[in-house]
Amino acid sequence: MTLWLVFALMTAAAIFAVLWPLGRRTAAAGGSDIAVYRDQLAEIDRDRATGLIAEADAEAAKVEVSRRLIAAADAAETEKSTGASSVWRRRATAIAGLLLLPAGAAVLYLLLGSPQLPDEPLSSRLAALRGDRSIEGMIAQVEKHLAEHPDDARGYAVLAPVYLRLGRFDDAVTARRKIIAISGENAERQSDLGEALTAAANGVVTAEAKSAFDRALTLDKSDLKARFYSGLAAQQDGDKNKAAAIWRAMLSEAPPDAPWAGAVHDALTQIGADTPSAAAPGPSAGDIAAAGKMNEKDRVAMITQMVDRLAERLKQDGSDVEGWQRLLRAYVVMGDHDKAKAAAEDARRALAGEPDKLRQIEGTIKSLGLGA
């Protein structure tokens, strides 16, 4: 509606611009000239009567003014005879402008415009100006770029996680392979490939995926993704103890705010291993929390008894890395840092011949702030 109002105002302005000069009246020069010449004749007669002008000069002046008066009278008569036709021409031009301008504009619009098209919503017009910003549109743009530049590893790195989120697992595997082929392998790229292969197999860690995770751990033993999926592979192979050992080791080294710790806890819960095992008795965090409900004397006695029992067992079997981790945490919770540091040294000596376990206990010592 607003657009048509604008068009109407523009048409009215164009018509006004045409009709304005045609509607203006031009002053009739003939009638005014006759009056002037007549006044001049009367003035000559007055000057002659008063002696201001000689008789001969007066006659000569009257002859000249009379000649101009006759010429002006003839011009006025001619203009009068042609005035009607001039007015008619102006009116015809005005009528033509009034009718032809809007009619011509309408004809041009019908020929060159598209009046049959419906109104387009503002949102779609803005979207067209911005271009296609949907996920599918952006993926298509990157895929087009990669078709023209197949060696752009960065483009594949952008697409691979998007493919995973959209469930396009085969495409994600292809993208991960392209990245390794173009940029070379490292632990992160191999574990990412293993993740995509596992997703493509509906969560099963296939032999190919396990090979990728093993390769990642060869390149970097601390790669978290590869360690987690290695535990998952062990679980799927029926070796729950191995899976639990891998995941517990990850938790023992995890910082307090590790974002992935929850997923590891969930994995342990699924295999029923998220609680202290019977083979490694000792106070857990839940045991110590429950002791908070006792009176001070009973609580101290209970905790001390459990911790002493665990410490005694570790003197006989120092290879239990989980037991050492539990003992260290218990001493820290009790506030006995001297015993915690002494236990840390005992654990180092007991596990000195087992590098993997020693690395796990070192991570626990560091996370508890018990020194290097």
pLDDT band at residue 278 using 50, 70 and 90 as cut-offs: very low
The distance from CA 141 to its chain's CA centroid, rounded to whole angstroms, is 15
What would the DSSP string read from start to end of 15-38?
HHHHHHHHHPPPP-HHHHHHHHHH
At 258-269, the pLDDT tens digits run 788 888 888 888
* Residue 117: strand, helix, or coil: coil
At 288-311, the pLDDT tens digits run 555 555 566 665 676 678 788 888
Q: Does residue 282 register a pLDDT over 70?
A: no
At 173-225, the pLDDT tens digits run 999 999 999 999 999 999 999 999 999 998 999 999 999 999 999 999 999 99
What local confidence, expressed as pLDDT, does residue 150 receive? 92
What local confidence, expressed as pLDDT, does residue 229 receive? 95
Q: Which of 109-113, 157-161, 291-295 has the lowest mean pLDDT?
A: 291-295
Check the CA dihedral 250-258-350-303 and report its sign.
negative
**Long-range pairs for 310-314: beta carbons < 8 A, 24 or more residues apart:** 310/281, 310/282, 310/283, 311/343, 313/281, 313/282, 314/346, 314/347, 314/350
* Residue 350: strand, helix, or coil: helix
Check the CA dihedral 215-220-224-230 and report its sign.
positive
The identity of residue 175, as a single letter, is A
Q: What percent of the chain has pLDDT over 90?
A: 26
The identity of residue 249, as a single letter, is A
If you average pLDDT over residues 344-367, what whole number do you get?
86
**What pTM was computed for the model?**
0.44
